[in-house]
A and B are shown apart, each in its own frame.
Chain A
């Protein structure tokens, strides 16, 4: 495929790996922020290839994984209502809530539909005027513009039977929370290329400066990630802590400004719970007051649904990079993708599911990963 196969070239990859090995004088600890990058690393076996030169910690950037239990429970309650058509991206359907998932609700007769865009959900609202169509607006800054657009259009068109259940999160507060943690081990970040395509990287500059940590905006193909690692390792070796851009074919410093503008007109920063991590102040997006009528939580009075995250959950340690998935005693035993105990085992971009699906626990000695 044009513009893709060239980023998966084995010979070039080996060259970059050699450069990383030659550059690193010690084993640096880097975190890839985005679940898409985690997926590539584990799927392509980059973690094995890079071996002793770099330790990768898999960050909290899988939107499916960090959606709090409480929001899942609200989604389940909505989807079970006979007057609701509940729409969602596909990978949210298997995420366990307190006692079941959206697949179970569908098997019991709930109208749960997979859509590929929030605008498809808005179209459904037009086709089913007798039903309330709710879209599960999950994701980082990447999906926020499309969700903002759907709400904007709904308001413009005066659609009364469309709303969104919002669980949007933003990347920079999560990185700050990781860096502030007393047990933090992360020395450099590969920032999420798609998030930065929308947001640019100006908001990462103060983080790099304050915490003296290199941040490299990185893409998702194997060569992107290897190059991102190399750029981060070079900064660490040279004592620099800058924001650099590896993903130049997609990301500009200012990002996509019309998209940012749309997002900020529809959404505002709010405190948000993260599954396995807890509440992070001003880390999420919520609908602004002018768009409150499209907020499913208000429309359906879901405020009474309050679910506490189990305090003993080890998913938080995995998401913060303190625990490798296979170091959890439940991994691959009580906890599998068929029957996930924790969110990171659910999505293909979750660290636990990536390790499980691609068999890391069977092929690699834990000490080498």
Chain B
């Protein structure tokens, strides 16, 4: 083995790095190694977007999410609207109708009230639009420098409907993979606002409430909606890899069918990013049996959010656990999870 020593293995990790928050392999590793062993139970073991529990015969979905976005305000939304959308969408992906929200705020000393007011007002507006009631909350203030303006945690409760239980482990060979809209807008909008990059066209975050699309899919395909997923952090690539692993199936994507807005594609080209790994906050992936693909697409397209819905691939029984993409020029490649965040490249 001595001939195989490439330069210098890296020292064992002894602390948290930013990559642990990327939604890629490092995040998954962190969860598995340092959190899950301490909290073993059957509900947690579902590891879906939300946990589903039975309360006196009513199935209830519960999901929690913490929002630390920088900048606090960005084209298409702010941390307040995002904190509502993120959590109600996680409930919707389990098929649940979101009903209640809690919110916890960590405020940094010195945060201007006009910023806070805009954030909270956007939150209220988003909650009303989603049809959820914010029923409990908490605020804490920390010294300047100990937080980044405001951090928000929201926990949501949703009600499950009978005979509608989409889940990450239910994708089956023969399913069509649908996406409800163009990809990559949230991640690029944040990146552009944060880094002060200017592209020819402003890209707005797609942050939106997805439950109306879920209702339409339910009407079109009912219990045959096998899997729903909002590809947030880590993008479509990470979401599809998790579904492929959970369901033990392969996923075959067709690159030219994947809707990437030209402005997102241009920004990604410049930064050396792959749009499949860029975060979305207003797009869902749906897995339905092939014969229901067209009715489901029509149902999605009937709503403004789903106007550009597209079929991007299919579930196969070859290469289980893997996502394979047929490239525009006819080659193939594996679309794996990234270890950490995408890094802007040199040239």
Contact = CB atoms under 8 A, between A and B. Distances in A.
A272 interface: no
Contact of B347 (A8, A13, A142, A330): A142
> Mostly helix, strand, loop or mixed at chain B's interface?
loop
Given A116-B197, A359-B333, A328 B4 contact: yes
Contacts of B10: 96, 99-101, 104, 339-340
B330 A337 contact: no
A43 B333 contact: yes
B19 A315 contact: no
A343 B18 contact: no
A48 interface: yes
Contact of B333 (A99, A222, A315, A358): A358
B334 interface: yes
Given A36-B347, A46-B329, A330 B6 contact: yes
A347 B347 CA distance: 12
Given A89-B344, A91-B343, A94-B340, A13 B329 contact: yes
Contact of B8 (A9, A46, A96): A96
Contacts of A46: 329, 331
A242 B133 CA distance: 73
B269 A4 contact: yes
B11 interface: yes
A362 B327 contact: no
Given A90-B343, A91-B344, A98 B330 contact: no
B346 A63 contact: yes
B340 to A, nearest CB: 7
Interface string A194-220: 100000000000000000000000000
B67 to A, nearest CB: 22
B272 A357 contact: no
Nearest to A103: B17
Which of B16, B340, B347 gathers most chain A CB within 10 Å?
Answer: B347
A10 B346 CA distance: 28
B266 interface: yes
A128 to B, nearest CB: 16
A116 B344 CA distance: 8
B262 interface: yes
Contacts of A10: 256, 328-330
Given A1-B266, A104-B17, A222-B329, A313 B7 contact: yes
B6 A315 contact: yes
Given A13-B330, A45-B333, A314-B3, A1 B269 contact: yes
A329 B15 contact: no
Interface string A345-357: 1011100000011
Given A91-B343, A139-B347, A310-B8, A49 B330 contact: yes
Interface residues of A, number: 77
Contacts of B185: none
B314 interface: no
A44 B327 contact: yes
Contacts of A329: 1, 4
B2 interface: yes
- Which among B2, B15, B331 has the greatest number of chain A C-beta atoms within 10 A? B331
A10 B266 CA distance: 20
Contacts of B334: 357-360, 362-363
A310 B328 contact: no
Q: Identify the interface centre among A103, A108, A138: most chain B CB within 10 Å of its CB.
A: A103
B9 A339 contact: yes
A126 to B, nearest CB: 15
A42 B332 CA distance: 9
Contacts of B91: none
B18 A106 contact: yes
Interface in B300-347: 319, 322, 324, 327-334, 336, 338-340, 343-347
B344 A64 contact: no
B25 interface: yes
Contact of A363 (B1, B15, B327, B332): B332
B195 interface: yes
Nearest to A194: B347
Contacts of A4: 265, 269
A223 to B, nearest CB: 8
B241 to A, nearest CB: 11
B129 to A, nearest CB: 33
Interface string A111-123: 0001010000000
Nearest to B25: A338
Interface string B193-218: 00101000000000000000000000
B4 to A, nearest CB: 5
Interface in A37-70: 42-46, 48-49, 63-64, 69
Nearest 3 pairs of A and B residues by beta carbon:
A45-B331, A359-B334, A342-B6
Interface of B: 1-11, 13, 15-19, 25-26, 195, 197, 256, 262, 265-266, 269, 272, 319, 322, 324, 327-334, 336, 338-340, 343-347
Given A92-B346, A104-B15, 4 more contacts: A42-B333, A45-B329, A310-B8, A338-B340
Interface of A: 1, 4, 8-10, 13-14, 36, 42-46, 48-49, 63-64, 69, 89-94, 96-101, 103-104, 106-108, 114, 116, 138-140, 142-143, 194, 222-223, 275-276, 309-310, 312-315, 328-330, 334-343, 345, 347-349, 356-360, 362-363
9 contacts: A89-B346, A93-B343, A103-B19, A310-B7, A328-B6, A330-B6, A338-B340, A341-B8, A362-B322
